[in-house]
């Protein structure tokens, strides 16, 4: 077989692989911006959002439904770090600023995040950066899993016992300060736990993450408090809830139990709220 024929055969083989399993190739595509932030290409697709009624720790507003995401997007490989924030904006707002530039930025409001993204877009001469939608965030967090975590099911809601599917993947109350020294809870550097199947770090734990969606906080019909949106509907395409005076947060914090680390867990704050457990990651459209 001559060299030309070999190249043709290899080309056909690679093309066939791409057709049979495009995720193999999508997972290896990474975009790095001028700030040094890395983004992983997440393929378009559909998934079951929310949680089954049998899932321990489940909330009333996690109705399971199918969501279609019609466009691929780049998801931040990590939460925005203190170093990245300071390099762009010129100061570090974090309550844990002494810990170092590789730690996630914290104590930023939703409004602050939107301003950071505005400046980043202006700096790069684009409009492609934004916060992820709630659906995009959960889709990327799950990375194909229909369990409570990207790594498996939930087995405990206590800080006293390790969660097998979470321990190697997340900084949460059990491993972020319960011992050595005791009760010294704090965030940790990004990318120091295992990534999910799609190459994303700290989707569970470390800091909670703002997303783009607005929400209401009380269901008057059910007299229940919690995230209230109109987007938890079967076969909805590219959902984004725009009504309500609160903003949704996803992912658990470094001080919280595994219940709050679940992929389906939803919570909220007013857009001006700042907490030392609150950070964010961003997406970039192709």
For residue 158, what pLDDT band results from cuts at 50, 70 and 90? confident
> What pLDDT, on a 0 to 100 scale, did the predictor assign at position 19?
41
pLDDT at 4 over 50: no
- What is the pLDDT at residue 150? 98
Residue 273 has a pLDDT of 98
Res 178: pLDDT = 73
HSE (CB half, 13 Å, CA atoms) of 109? 10
Looking at residue 5, what is its pLDDT?
A: 39
pLDDT at 6: 39
Mean pLDDT of the chain: 89
Give the tens place of pLDDT for each residue, 40-91.
Answer: 999 999 999 999 999 999 999 999 999 999 999 999 999 999 999 999 999 9
Is residue 245 over pLDDT 50?
A: yes
CATH value of 33-284 in 3.10.560.10, 2.60.120.260, 3.90.1580.10, 3.30.470.20: 3.90.1580.10
Q: Quote the CA–CA distance of 128 and 117 in Å, as a whole number.
A: 9
Percentage of the residues of the chain whose pLDDT score is greater than 90: 82
Task: Tell me if 26 sits within 8 A of 41, measured CB to CB.
Answer: yes
Domain limits, the chain:
1-27, 33-284
pLDDT digits (tens, 9 = 90+) for 198-237: 999 999 999 999 999 999 998 666 678 899 999 999 999 9
User: Hey, what are 117's tokens?
Assistant: 């993204």
Q: How many CB atoms lie within 10 A of CB 270?
A: 12
- Give pLDDT, residue 106: 98
Say yes or no to pLDDT of 12 above 70. Answer: no
Residues 187 and 99: beta-carbon distance below 8 Å: yes
> How confident is the model at residue 25, as a pLDDT?
37
- Using CA atoms in the order 82, 85, 91, 95, what is the torsion angle rounded to 10 degrees? -40
Asked if 69 contacts 46 with a C-beta cutoff of 8 angstroms, the reply is: yes
| Orientation angle between helical segments 110-124 and 82-89, nearest 10 degrees | 60
pLDDT level of residue 281 (50, 70, 90 thresholds): very high
Does this model's pTM top 0.85? My answer is yes
Q: How many CA atoms lie within 13 A of 81 on its CB side?
A: 20
Digit-coded pLDDT (tens) for 95-142: 999 999 999 999 999 999 999 999 999 999 999 999 999 999 999 999
Q: Of the segments 26-35, 158-167, 181-190, which one has the largest average pLDDT value?
A: 158-167
The larger pLDDT score, comparing residue 27 to residue 145, is at 145
- 265-279 pLDDT, tens digit each: 999 999 999 999 999
**Which pLDDT belongs to residue 177?**
79
pLDDT digits over 27-36, tens only? 449 999 999 9
Task: Say whether pLDDT at 20 is over 50.
Answer: no
């Amino acid at each position: 077989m001559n060299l030309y024929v070999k190249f043709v055969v290899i080309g056909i083989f690679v093309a066939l692989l791409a057709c049979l399993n495009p995720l193999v190739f999508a997972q290896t595509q990474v975009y790095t911006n001028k700030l040094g932030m890395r983004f992983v290409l997440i393929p378009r697709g559909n998934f079951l959002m929310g949680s089954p009624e049998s899932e321990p720790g489940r909330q009333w507003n996690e109705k399971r439904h199918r969501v279609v995401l019609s466009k691929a997007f780049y998801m931040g490989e990590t939460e925005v770090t203190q170093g990245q924030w300071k390099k762009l904006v010129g100061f570090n707002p974090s309550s844990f600023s002494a810990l170092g530039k590789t730690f996630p930025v914290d104590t930023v409001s939703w409004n602050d995040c939107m301003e950071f993204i505005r400046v980043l877009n202006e700096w790069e001469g684009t409009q492609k950066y934004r916060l992820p939608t709630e659906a995009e965030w959960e889709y990327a967090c799950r990375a194909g899993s229909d369990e409570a975590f990207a790594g498996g099911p939930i087995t405990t809601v206590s800080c006293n016992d390790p969660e097998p599917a979470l321990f190697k993947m997340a900084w949460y109350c059990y491993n972020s300060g319960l011992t050595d020294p005791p009760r010294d809870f704090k965030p940790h550097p990004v990318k120091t736990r295992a990534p999910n199947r799609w190459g994303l770090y700290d989707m569970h734990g470390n800091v909670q993450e703002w997303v783009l969606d607005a929400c209401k906080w009380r269901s008057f019909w059910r007299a229940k408090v919690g995230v209230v949106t109109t987007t938890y509907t079967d076969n909805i395409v590219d959902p984004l809830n725009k009504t309500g005076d609160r903003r949704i947060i996803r992912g658990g914090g470094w001080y919280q139990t595994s219940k709050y680390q679940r992929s389906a867990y939803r919570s909220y704050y007013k857009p001006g709220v700042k907490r030392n457990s609150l950070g964010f990651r961003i997406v970039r459209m192709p």
